[in-house]
Structure 1
Amino acid sequence: MGQGNDTSLAGLSVLVVDDEALLRRRLMAHLKNLGAEVAGAETLEAARYKLSDAAFDFLLLDIHLPDGIGLDLIREGSVPATTGVVVMTAQGGVEGAVESIRLGALDYLVKPFDPGLLPLVMHRARQKRQSTRVTEHERESEDGSGFFFGNSLAPLREVLEKIIAADFRLLVNLPPVLIEGETGSGKSTIARWLHRNGPRADEPMIEVNCSALPDSLAESELFGSEKGAYTDARATRQGLFEAAHGGTLFLDEIPSLSPAIQAKVLTAIEDRNIRRIGGTRNIEVDVRVIAATNRDLRAAVASGDFREDLLHRLDLFRLRLPALRERGEDLLLLADRLLAQLCRRHRLPVRQITEEGKRRLLAYRWPGNVRELAHELERGLVFEDSAALDFARLLAEDSQTTAATLDPSDWLNPAYDFSKGEFVLEDATNRLVQIALKKADGNASQAARMLGVTRDFIRYRLHGDRKS
């Protein structure tokens, strides 16, 4: 399960609420010996105070207390959503145990019980809490198990299978994986394929688009925060590293993270623990990190936008996804596969691609790669009335954007003729700025880092665009 030592509760905090002093002290001593941070309370009022004063991972709660029913803590909202509740009940109190589960408790123990059961119960409850956080984060995504490799990606599949074989030998503390490739080339799908074919397929996989995380939220989203850590921190929040414990955390477009957050990611990978914002204790996490980028990380290191130590830590199992235009005839096989899926989705009979359409698909550069291909196929399916698709629009679009694609490999081609007037340095610079802004979702600072220029340069170019 990727949990490491199942008897250890190191890094967890537990509040034990029971009016039987001897039992309470015995449970607290046992939990402390297992590495947990422990506090105790014997009444509802004392429990309320401690729950409001500190964040606990778990609440071990007796149902019958001198000043009321323990379950009232759940009913009245005194127990934060991030605190897992395990109820203790006397023999014959099954009805109360059932009620506690209905109210949201994760498990229950019937007194008297062996304290040795606590690690098993806590780990089981922790998995339930992870599931809740994963569900909160989940988004619809394509199934990566059916990734199309074809002949061109056969070497990549061999490398993936070797990584998976190593994963099954290790099981825990799996090394990170770095996936490089252009936007839309299938990096997310490869990450899902790797997770779903490995030993952690039944564990959570959390996907994070780092370029969509504002700097102000990135730290709390990835590492969590304690109640009161900042103005809006009204409750303890579990971070995505913690939610992915035992599974996989996919960090897409990792260079978008600030250097400070990159440093914390490096520490989490190396030390296998994290600390929430405002927290004072380390939380153990066993997470397989898969990072992806559409940038040259070595160039990003040279420009100061990416930490060299993090690159060296990630660059153990490196995968490069070739651009769609580099996959030869596999492009047509992939197009047929995607088109069949789209026909089923639109409830239409299977459409074919004309020979001219195939030539156009092969001739086009596909700057958006597989994602752009899928969109073009769907547009053709919806808007072309003929029985077979020929993608006439591609021909016009390709001729209009040849000069605007700004692929440096074209400029280095001896056959490229600058004298034709297709290339204008001023226009090319403005076009690069617009492309970078689009990739950065309008974030001028991030676009400046991508291009290795100052933010003022970006602003100047934008101002110039508005004036013209």
Structure 2
Amino acid sequence: MAKRYFFVVALAKLTDIGGVTETALKGASVLVLEDELLLRRQVAAALEQHEADVTAVGTVDEARRLIADLPFDFALIDVNLPDGLGTDLLREGLFSPNTAVVVCTAEGGVQGAVEAIHNGAQDYLQKPVDPNVLPMILQRAKASRQTARLAEHERRQPDATGEQIFFGEALSGFRLQLEKIIAADERLGTRLPPVLIEGETGTGKTSIARWLHHNGPRAAGPLVEVNCPALPESLAESELFGHERGAFTDAKTARMGLFEAAKGGTLFLDELASLSLGLQAKVLKAIEDRRIRRLGGNREIEVDVRIIAASNRDLGQAVAADEFRDDLHHRLSLFRLVIPPLRDRG
């Protein structure tokens, strides 16, 4: 009987959801588990052409040790190996929840593929697979992980749907400011600067943030809303930036942060001033570098989000009181909106 090949493609690095790019795998760490040397080299070479960082091994034991020590972005795994089944790595739950898995089989082993998906794989394909389509396959699998993380967050958040806003004559000038921001966004394309919305409680800051997202160039991407005062100080960094396995006592698995989950869309940080000054510094670094580092991690991860921040107080006054970082305030203030209080709307 001919040997049946299975590969599992697992990744924890987000790629563009809107379409495959030449850099979809750039910088991603990939584990290749395949006992046939020629095939292992061919797969590794195909991935390295996309600037992936590939580690190739030929036994389940080697792969198990590597997975325990390193947070791989991807893994390609053959099933039938000299020392066991590659799919045991799935069955044992060794992969991070951030790892998306795709199974490939040469002989249409549907039952094995279904079992692999039941154990955490995202998809399966029949071989031979053109190496040139691997970025698209991985991207699709990773998109499903991002969707799952968003769903987890949204279960604990208000509905973030687009909504109609009646501006009226009293807000006609404010409406014009919004339209200018949208026009600037359309000219800028993808790298959009942050927006700061200031206004008293009850003036509609969240509604304005949703309006900006749903009327702007990132409307097709996710809108992730974060109520910053509701984040416990001990968990705020992990929630925003994610964490690796073992980063703290209860971190039994790695977890994607909301900066990653919002990729391609908007991250709305409501009442940003409630975050500690130390965490504000990390938000500033994420905005400026477009990269984050998970808690307990040593690798930077590219993020592609538009930040909208809101505050019910004047952040300039908060800076003067040493309660908000001046550099972050400066970075947020390129597009600054002040919503008129209800009492001034006539």
TM-score grouping bracket, smaller chain normalisation: 0.7 to 0.9
Tell me how far 1:227 sits from its aligned partner: 1.1
1:161 counterpart residue number? 179
Whole-Å separation in 1 of the counterparts to 2:296 and 2:214:
35
CA-to-aligned-CA distance 1:249-299 (integer Å, 9 cap, x gap)? 001111111111111111111111111112121111110000000111111
Matching of residues 55-454 of structure 1 within 5 Å: 55-138=71-154, 139-141=157-159, 143-328=161-346
With 91-100 and 257-266 compared, the bigger mean Cα shift is at: 91-100
SS at match of 1:152: helix
Whole-Å separation in 2 of the counterparts to 1:78 and 1:108:
19
TM-score by length of 2: 0.87
TM-score by length of 1: 0.66
**Bigger proportion of residues as strand:** 2
Match of 1:7 among 1, 14, 22: 22
2:8 counterpart residue number? none
CA-to-aligned-CA distance 1:53-111 (integer Å, 9 cap, x gap)? 22223322223333333333222322222211122221433443344334432233433
Structure with higher RCO (Cα < 8 A, 6+ apart): 2
Conserved? CA contact 2:160–2:223, under 8 Å: no
Whole-Å separation in 1 of the counterparts to 2:222 and 2:81:
37
2:32 counterpart residue number? 16
Conserved? CA contact 2:89–2:95, under 8 Å: yes
CA-to-aligned-CA distance 1:111-136 (integer Å, 9 cap, x gap)? 33222222222222221111111011
**Bigger proportion of residues as helix:** 1
Whole-Å separation in 2 of the counterparts to 1:11 and 1:184:
44
Tell me how far 1:302 sits from its aligned partner: 1.3
Conserved? CA contact 1:180–1:319, under 8 Å: yes
Tell me how far 1:2 sits from its aligned partner: 7.0
Tell me how far 1:240 sits from its aligned partner: 0.8
Change (3 A) 1:17 1:55: same
Tell me how far 1:142 sits from its aligned partner: 6.2
2:4 counterpart residue number? none
SS at match of 2:310: strand
Whole-Å separation in 1 of the counterparts to 2:327 and 2:49:
36
Tell me how far 1:4 sits from its aligned partner: 8.6
Whole-Å separation in 1 of the counterparts to 2:117 and 2:277:
44
AA partner of residue 145 (structure 2):
R
> RMSD of the TM alignment (CA)?
2.1
Conserved? CA contact 1:59–1:86, under 8 Å: no
Match of 2:42 among 17, 20, 26: 26
AA partner of residue 66 (structure 1):
P
Conserved? CA contact 1:2–1:286, under 8 Å: no
Change (3 A) 1:149 1:223: same
Whole-Å separation in 2 of the counterparts to 1:226 and 1:37:
19
Aligned length: 328
Tell me how far 1:160 sits from its aligned partner: 1.8
CA-to-aligned-CA distance 1:156-199 (integer Å, 9 cap, x gap)? 22222222233233331211111010112111111111112222
Question: Percent of counterpart pairs with the same letter?
Answer: 60
Q: Which runs of 5+ in 1 are unaligned?
A: 329-468
Q: Which has the larger radius of gyration?
A: 1
1:397 counterpart residue number? none
CA-to-aligned-CA distance 1:398-438 (integer Å, 9 cap, x gap)? xxxxxxxxxxxxxxxxxxxxxxxxxxxxxxxxxxxxxxxxx
Conserved? CA contact 2:149–2:261, under 8 Å: yes
Conserved? CA contact 2:160–2:210, under 8 Å: no
Tell me how far 1:5 sits from its aligned partner: 7.3
1:440 counterpart residue number? none
AA partner of residue 263 (structure 1):
A
Conserved? CA contact 1:82–1:238, under 8 Å: yes
